[in-house]
Amino acid sequence: GNSVTQMEGPVTLSEEAFLTINCTYTATGYPSLFWYVQYPGEGLQLLLKATKADDKGSNKGFEATYRKETTSFHLEKGSVQVSDSAVYFCALKGSARQLTFGSGTQLTVLP
Amino acid sequence: KAGVTQTPRYLIKTRGQQVTLSCSPISGHRSVSWYQQTPGQGLQFLFEYFSETQRNKGNFPGRFSGRQFSNSRSEMNVSTLELGDSALYLCASSLFPDRITDTQYFGPGTRLTVL
């Protein structure tokens, strides 16, 4: 079946530092890949998505590239802000209609 | 366009009781999916409804059930509550659930605490 393996957290960075959160997946066929973000006390917000190999999803300074050869979809941001502190989830959608999520990575950005 | 709404936002129940949670999807979305989020198990799929029919169900006991109405609003019910049912229950709606490229949009969740 499908699975998503996500970088263990928590991750603590200083403001303006570079962020990478690793995500690898196992799936049959050609899934779509997503990053969702969850702020304290809230639901999941879509951050970005990519639907085919070599696609790059981007939003609010975050980027992730769909790498089929390495089955990866790593999240990056060049300069994090305190307001980026949240939990980040990598997810995939394959031929089944539900999303399969990684375990989540807690990010804390210190001023 | 209004997002996915869930009511209530918080619930406190005792063991053995039952609970009903409600979800209103984004206007025009006919697919509603439910997920359970716990610190130990993470995000797990419960079930998906489309046009009032349950099409997909996760690995949860029969105490977890749901339904969808003709206006696409959905409810989920948990009977005979157990302490382990304490969780954040998230609802998501989407427009083209059969497409791999489809995006699910989530509501704020209902926080259920079972005492």
Q: Name the residue in chain B with its Cα closest to that of A98.
A: B45
Select from B6, B2, B8 the least CA-distant residue to B92.
Answer: B6
Q: How much is the pLDDT for A28?
A: 86
Give the integer Cα–Cα distance in Å for A74 and A90: 9
Provide, for chain A, the percentages of residues in helix, strand and coil under a 3-state DSSP scheme, each rounded to the nearest 5.
5, 55, 45
Q: How much is the pLDDT for A90?
A: 98
- What contacts 24+ positions apart, CB below 8 Å, involve B62-66? B66/B34
Instruction: Give the count of beta carbons closer than 10 Å to the beta carbon of residue A111.
Output: 6
Q: Give me the percent of chain B exceeding a pLDDT of 90.
A: 91
> A3 — contact with chain B (CB < 8 Å)?
no
Of B31, B90, B103, the CB nearest to A43: B90
pLDDT at B2 over 90: no
Confidence band, pLDDT 50/70/90 cuts, at residue A97: confident
pLDDT in tens, B63-83: 999 999 999 999 999 999 999
Tokens representing A39 are: 């702020």
Mean pLDDT across the stretch B88-102? 93
Length of chain B, please? 115
Distance from CA of B107 to the nearest CA of A (A): 6
> A111 — contact with chain B (CB < 8 Å)?
no
Give the integer Cα–Cα distance in Å for B110 and B69: 19
Give the integer Cα–Cα distance in Å for A93 and B96: 12
Give the count of Cβ contacts less than 8 A between chain A and B.
59
Instruction: Give the count of beta carbons closer than 10 Å to the beta carbon of residue B72.
Output: 21
Of B6, B101, B107, the CB nearest to A32: B101
Q: How much is the pLDDT for A9?
A: 83
| Strand residue runs (E) in B27-108 | 31-38, 42-50, 53-57, 64-68, 74-78, 87-94, 105-106
Confidence band, pLDDT 50/70/90 cuts, at residue A8: confident
